[in-house]
Structure 1
Amino acid sequence: MIVYDGNKTDFLHSVERDTIAVEIENNIYNKMKRRTAANEFRSWENSLEYMYKVLNDREIPDDSGIAIEYNIPQTSKRVDFIISGFDHHDDPNIVIIELKQWDKINAIEGQDGLVETYTGNTMRKVVHPSYQAWSYSMMIKDYNSSVQTNNVQLWSCAYLHNYRRKPDDDLDKPQYEEYLKDSPAFTRGEVPQLREFIKRCIRKGDNKELIYQIDQGRIRPSKSLQNAITSMLKGNKEFIMLDEQKVVYEEILLTSRKCMEDNKKRTIIVTGGPGTGKTVVAVNALVELTNDGQFAQYISKNSAPRNVYLKKLKGKIKKSTVDNMFKGSGIYTETEKNVVDTILVDEAHRLNEKSGMYKNKGENQIKEIIHSSLCNVFFIDEHQKVTLSDIGSVEEIKKWAKVENSQIIETKLYSQFRCNGSDGYLAWIDHVLEIEDTANYDLKDIDYDFQICDSPTEMQNLIVEKNKNANRARILAGYCWNWISNGRNDSKVHDIKIGDFEISWNLGNSTTFAIDDNSINEAGCIHTSQGLEFDYVGVIIGDDLRYEDGHIVTDFTKRAKTDQSLKGIKKLYKANPVLANQKADEIIKNTYRTLMTRGMKGCYVYCVDDGLRNYLKERIKI
């Protein structure tokens, strides 16, 4: 959907009459029924004045097509500015321009394509503007049938009109070279250079015909995208399916294909505990359905599993349009009904109601995912809810499926491939932590290396030794120690201190703690390890979980102030102490249950509380 369209002459006249921002505002309300924030209105007025200056060139054809705020159909993302026309060979071309009002950025080491800038009233990590422009162009190229059929060439760039570039600028650091090459960034004082970039692509006008074609184009994956993701999966041992994983996978394919045939909405709920292969099934289904010609997406609220599995899929490939297939769960707040063929939701228990930076967008992520797709698949383990904002449950999914008139299909992954294939260990954890009463009172006949350590140093030494084999062992901890802000990218700054033992939280400049070469020297938290698996894990249990008077006791007051998992619990406690303690108890126990089931072969535990340490020692002796 295009919010504003016209030709170059129309655009220039609207800017001259000071009506361009008003026209966009009115169109957004008429087409999307959405009110425009004051800061967004000012940004149009500001940025489009600069684009007026850029286009005020006789060599850029007056009948070139102009589109502003083009909503990429399968997302809530909008392209700032588009110019369309033909080059000197009469080949169709479209130029995508990402407009930024930033006047300062900081480069970020260790995280691909990210910078830091002041936005939303604070300094935040955001994507490099060249990466953003490139990713939007590739999204259109990979999924728009008109672009594919008519061989429309897409060109992209960024225009930071307030940004004063300097020698060796952070904007131009070597880690951004690949994106700057494909999508150059133009800054303050570089109007002539931006004009030349446009004129290399647009020599003849099209009277916005190409923009119309794109707006009407059907969504389908390109052959090149299908080939790319298929080649990544082929022979990748990380994604080999076993036994019932294959059964569930085939059920998903059958159901999704049926949706495409009869155009009826269906919701598949796949329940399964830790290590049952939910992600492996999801990624395999993503690849196969894309090869069917479907527009399919893999979704997770938590970025850690998404980033790690994407990296495992891509291998050493840094820049790939496959990235656009892996998205966060809050992208469907403004999408229309059934715009995506199949959405595969991993870690569905982590879904939230509201989306956005300030949790002020949308109504309910589960509802929006079901509404936006013809077929939707939710992979869920209700015992892995670990924050107050997690709303994912089987009943919640069923409720919204009924609202959306979507047929509900339920299936389950039983065999546990983590913990040496033993469901018994997981049942024992549930019993020990008093999550539920199970028959597994002890670890007898369970082939799993579980040890209680007398010191965190002992646990660390065991994990470091195990990690030497295949870089598949990690230290994890409950969130009972503050994350020191001025040392988030420095492993020498130790956030966790227990006696003479010290270690840093996982670094803030990496999104792939689980597979980074040096992250053995850091401790991961629930947010960087949930949904992932290792061979061995060492778990530090903080003071939020203790053993007193013959029972497991949880204490939310011992959680770190920097932890957002229990945000709002103090307010809830004042209003309803019983409910607050009940919710906190569930979240804290689920957190340690999740951490203690990340290892496929073994788990080594150190407890800060002496009582809990002695209790667990007694339980493994029985």
Structure 2
Amino acid sequence: MIIYQSTAKAFIEDTINEVLVDNLYKAYQEKIGRTTKNEIRSWENSLAKMSNVLYDPDIPGDVSVAIEFNIPNTSKRVDFIVAGNDGHNDNVMIVELKQWEFATKVDGKEAIVETALGGGIRETVHPSYQAYTYAALIKDFNENVRENQINLIPCAYLHNYFVQEDDPLTDDTYSFYIEKAPVFRKGEISKLREFMKKYIKQKDKIEAIVQIDQGKIKPSKSLQDALKNMIQGNEEFYMIDEQKVFFEEALSLFRQSMKDQKKRTMIVEGGPGTGKSVLAINLLVEIINQDRLAMYITKNSAPREVYAAKLQGTMKKTHINNLFKGSGSFTKAEENEFDVLIVDEAHRLNRKSGMFQNMGENQTKEIINGSLLSIFFIDENQKVTFSDAGSIEGIEEYANILGSEVIKRELVSQFRCDGSDGYIAWLDDVLDIRETANKNFIGLDYDFKIVDNPHDLLKLIKGKNKLANKSRIMAGYCWEWPKNERRNVAYHDITIGDFGMSWNLNATWAIDNASVEEAGCIHTAQGLEFDYIGVIIGDDMRYENNQIVTDYSKRAKTDQSLKGIKKLAQDNPEEANSIADKIIKNTYRTLMTRGQKGCYVYCKDKQLAEYFKIRIAYVEKEQQYLQMIAENPAGYTFK
């Protein structure tokens, strides 16, 4: 999606006539619905500088420009695009704009610099690295770019940045990325113009910006599919912005701990789809390639089973088992026995280990004790069982007890749900997990539907699954799972009227071709991702008296998620209801954020379905209103 598109001539005129901010604001309201004029004014200066760049007789006025292009499958946007032709090929220049005044070199961290951000001096990616990876992501995802042989030319323009002697911004450390994406500073407008004029000599032939904006988007890579290449050392995911910063910081902490033998604990907080698992696997690969003892840990067995199946044939089973461990594997670990332990889904850690949770002292403590460097990836809003005890507070507490330095970071960029932070926030608001400003998701390309019967849900998912075997049905655990029928595909555990489905028959349900006919639950879905997911909301969540109500008594007896809640309810029913309410809502939030491209939902409770439809209808009404504004802007006043 592009916020603003025009010719270079019209863009310059909008800037000179001081109407660019108003035009951008209207475009934002129509397409996104979440901005203020003050936010747009914050980059008005940068856009005025780009107007000066384009104000050159050798840059044709009919070449295309665009502002704020959303990179497919991410929440990131390209600042400025110029499209034209060099006499032979259509080219699209991707310009990353920065208002920085200075930068400091950061030693030992690839493509990282320090500058003033957010009211302080912070580490961030080098602008050339940012422009380069943005261009690489567009090329990777957009099939039109490849099919039409559109050249992407990235660069960065730091128009407020004063050139220094021995400038750290252009230090040899960053030469690889500067060669890929040149950086231009204050006073170098003529250099930027000359660079641009090599590629933009005339109007492009195929409307390249339109081709990019409306191009067919290749499905996102899923971690489970890319794992084999990652383990073999091949780059499968471009780490961008804070992902790259945290990756380099984690490697720096690793090198420090190996050198000085001091304990360190890194906590990385992030919501669904922020790339926690991708970072965890990349770190695992980098560290084991340096011949250090590292392991990837997750309580949930489903990702480990899928990863093992994907890696089968590439390494010995014992090697696979030594890379991927359950969270209860360290009850007897000696102090600093391992170099690095990387914990994914750290919110799922238990207090004690073993089938009866009677082994060891505390999983968090044992992991920190057993490693020089422990890295925890966590989202406390994805706790989905009564026994989930992992918490940021608990990690910090045990790290302090064991003398481990704590480093806390937060991932915010979205790489799932079509890169929409808005969908996650909207869902949190709808499910009453937290109040957000996202009452609607105007401009969201995410495919979200409420269907009226489960037959339609299965039909939709089976149709999507034909594309790449990456679509599945999931359900709340409200139907029993009889032990003697767990391998019987003909036995329907989930029955709704004349509709029937079996629970998943094996642990590799997420990748088995026939599994589209089976339903997964939170235990087989958490930690994995798909293109499209269909979610059946059972009787444990309904809508009444103008609010969402949860009922843990409707959960299946074979579900262990709420084991112990009834005993707590005898002593403290209010606390038990509060804990169960969070678990049930977190469960459906987790299921409804497994899909990269879309989510379809069937609700057993008809009033809950109507509530979802009303929230969607609100969006549709808002879109109709904004369309009226777009058609007759003089007739409305923005507030």
TM-score (norm 1): 0.61
Q: How does 1:262-277 map to 2 (within 5 A)?
A: 262-277=260-275
Which whole-Å CA distance do the structure 2 matches of 1:277 and 1:363 have between them? Answer: 30
Alignment CA distance shift 1:265-1:316 (3 Å): closer
Asked whether the equivalents of residues 537 and 599 of structure 1 are also in contact (C-alpha less than 8 Å), the reply is: yes
Which whole-Å CA distance do the structure 2 matches of 1:234 and 1:336 have between them? Answer: 30
* Residue 349 of structure 2: aligned partner: 351
Moved over 4 A (4+): 228-231, 313-318
Which whole-Å CA distance do the structure 2 matches of 1:349 and 1:235 have between them? Answer: 29
Identical aligned pairs, as a percentage? 60
* Residue 372 of structure 1: aligned partner: 370
* Residue 393 of structure 1: aligned partner: 391
Asked whether the equivalents of residues 240 and 280 of structure 1 are also in contact (C-alpha less than 8 Å), the reply is: no
Matched, 1:292 2:306: no
Q: How does 1:498-513 map to 2 (within 5 A)?
A: 498-507=496-505, 510-513=506-509
State the shift of 1:232 in Å.
Answer: 3.8
Question: Which blocks of at least 5 consecutive residues in structure 2 are unaligned?
Answer: 1-226, 619-639
Q: How does 1:161-180 map to 2 (within 5 A)?
A: none
Which whole-Å CA distance do the structure 1 matches of 2:228 and 2:262 have between them? Answer: 27
Amino acid at match of 2:301: S
* Residue 515 of structure 2: aligned partner: 519
Asked whether the equivalents of residues 339 and 373 of structure 2 are also in contact (C-alpha less than 8 Å), the reply is: yes
Pick the aligned partner of 1:476 from 474, 496, 517. 474
Which whole-Å CA distance do the structure 2 matches of 1:490 and 1:548 have between them? Answer: 37
* Residue 530 of structure 1: aligned partner: 526
Which whole-Å CA distance do the structure 2 matches of 1:334 and 1:319 have between them? Answer: 23
Which whole-Å CA distance do the structure 2 matches of 1:451 and 1:369 have between them? Answer: 42
Which whole-Å CA distance do the structure 1 matches of 2:245 and 2:411 have between them? Answer: 9
Amino acid at match of 1:598: R
State the shift of 1:324 in Å.
Answer: 1.3
Q: How does 1:84-483 map to 2 (within 5 A)?
A: 232-235=231-234, 237=236, 241-314=239-312, 319=317, 321-483=319-481
Which string of whole-angstrom CA distances, capped at 9 and with x for unpartnered residues, describes residues 516-575 of structure 1? 111101000000000111010000000100000000000000000000000011111111
SS of structure 1 residue aligned to 2:513: coil
Asked whether the equivalents of residues 311 and 320 of structure 2 are also in contact (C-alpha less than 8 Å), the reply is: no
SS of structure 2 residue aligned to 1:497: strand
Which whole-Å CA distance do the structure 1 matches of 2:504 and 2:235 have between them? Answer: 27
Which string of whole-angstrom CA distances, capped at 9 and with x for unpartnered residues, describes residues 485-532 of structure 1? 11101221110000010000011xx22211111110100000000011
Which string of whole-angstrom CA distances, capped at 9 and with x for unpartnered residues, describes residues 186-234 of structure 1? xxxxxxxxxxxxxxxxxxxxxxxxxxxxxxxxxxxxxxxxxx9888433
Which whole-Å CA distance do the structure 2 matches of 1:585 and 1:407 have between them? Answer: 35
State the shift of 1:307 in Å.
Answer: 2.2
Alignment CA distance shift 1:505-1:240 (3 Å): farther
Pick the aligned partner of 1:561 from 557, 564, 576. 557
* Residue 617 of structure 1: aligned partner: 613
Which string of whole-angstrom CA distances, capped at 9 and with x for unpartnered residues, describes residues 295-331 of structure 1? 1011011111222234334577674623311110111
Asked whether the equivalents of residues 485 and 491 of structure 2 are also in contact (C-alpha less than 8 Å), the reply is: yes
Which string of whole-angstrom CA distances, capped at 9 and with x for unpartnered residues, describes residues 152-183 of structure 1? xxxxxxxxxxxxxxxxxxxxxxxxxxxxxxxx
Amino acid at match of 2:458: Q
SS of structure 2 residue aligned to 1:536: strand
Asked whether the equivalents of residues 473 and 534 of structure 2 are also in contact (C-alpha less than 8 Å), the reply is: yes
State the shift of 1:236 in Å.
Answer: 6.7
State the shift of 1:404 in Å.
Answer: 0.6
Matched, 1:551 2:571: no
Asked whether the equivalents of residues 272 and 416 of structure 2 are also in contact (C-alpha less than 8 Å), the reply is: yes
State the shift of 1:376 in Å.
Answer: 0.1
Asked whether the equivalents of residues 230 and 287 of structure 1 are also in contact (C-alpha less than 8 Å), the reply is: no
Asked whether the equivalents of residues 266 and 376 of structure 2 are also in contact (C-alpha less than 8 Å), the reply is: yes
Amino acid at match of 2:578: Q
Which whole-Å CA distance do the structure 2 matches of 1:229 and 1:443 have between them? Answer: 36
Alignment CA distance shift 1:407-1:317 (3 Å): closer
Which whole-Å CA distance do the structure 2 matches of 1:464 and 1:345 have between them? Answer: 34
Which whole-Å CA distance do the structure 2 matches of 1:538 and 1:329 have between them? Answer: 29
Pick the aligned partner of 1:606 from 602, 608, 619. 602
Which whole-Å CA distance do the structure 1 matches of 2:240 and 2:456 have between them? Answer: 35
SS of structure 2 residue aligned to 1:462: helix
Amino acid at match of 1:233: Q
Which whole-Å CA distance do the structure 1 matches of 2:317 and 2:393 have between them? Answer: 39
SS of structure 2 residue aligned to 1:582: helix
Alignment CA distance shift 1:304-1:545 (3 Å): same
Asked whether the equivalents of residues 471 and 517 of structure 1 are also in contact (C-alpha less than 8 Å), the reply is: yes
SS of structure 2 residue aligned to 1:450: strand
Asked whether the equivalents of residues 306 and 511 of structure 2 are also in contact (C-alpha less than 8 Å), the reply is: yes
Which string of whole-angstrom CA distances, capped at 9 and with x for unpartnered residues, describes residues 27-84 of structure 1? xxxxxxxxxxxxxxxxxxxxxxxxxxxxxxxxxxxxxxxxxxxxxxxxxxxxxxxxxx
Which whole-Å CA distance do the structure 1 matches of 2:230 and 2:614 have between them? Answer: 50
Alignment CA distance shift 1:268-1:463 (3 Å): same
Asked whether the equivalents of residues 536 and 600 of structure 1 are also in contact (C-alpha less than 8 Å), the reply is: yes
Which whole-Å CA distance do the structure 2 matches of 1:229 and 1:606 have between them? Answer: 35
State the shift of 1:413 in Å.
Answer: 1.5
Amino acid at match of 2:248: E
Alignment CA distance shift 1:241-1:514 (3 Å): farther
Question: Which blocks of at least 5 consecutive residues in structure 1 are unaligned?
Answer: 1-227
Asked whether the equivalents of residues 606 and 613 of structure 1 are also in contact (C-alpha less than 8 Å), the reply is: yes
Asked whether the equivalents of residues 349 and 390 of structure 1 are also in contact (C-alpha less than 8 Å), the reply is: yes
Which whole-Å CA distance do the structure 2 matches of 1:486 and 1:374 have between them? Answer: 45
Asked whether the equivalents of residues 279 and 346 of structure 1 are also in contact (C-alpha less than 8 Å), the reply is: yes
Amino acid at match of 1:552: I
State the shift of 1:479 in Å.
Answer: 0.2
* Residue 571 of structure 1: aligned partner: 567
Which string of whole-angstrom CA distances, capped at 9 and with x for unpartnered residues, describes residues 394-441 of structure 1? 111111111111000011221110000001000001000000100001
Alignment CA distance shift 1:318-1:501 (3 Å): farther
TM-score (norm 2): 0.60
Which whole-Å CA distance do the structure 1 matches of 2:464 and 2:422 have between them? Answer: 23
Which string of whole-angstrom CA distances, capped at 9 and with x for unpartnered residues, describes residues 356-383 of structure 1? 1221101110000000100000000010
Q: How does 1:71-90 map to 2 (within 5 A)?
A: none
Amino acid at match of 2:273: G
Which whole-Å CA distance do the structure 1 matches of 2:269 and 2:458 have between them? Answer: 33
Aligned length: 392
Q: How does 1:22-37 map to 2 (within 5 A)?
A: none
Amino acid at match of 1:560: A
Alignment CA distance shift 1:335-1:524 (3 Å): same
Amino acid at match of 2:232: L
SS of structure 2 residue aligned to 1:357: coil
Which whole-Å CA distance do the structure 2 matches of 1:476 and 1:500 have between them? Answer: 18
Matched, 1:594 2:593: no
SS of structure 2 residue aligned to 1:518: helix
Which string of whole-angstrom CA distances, capped at 9 and with x for unpartnered residues, describes residues 325-369 of structure 1? 111011111111000000000000000001012211011100000
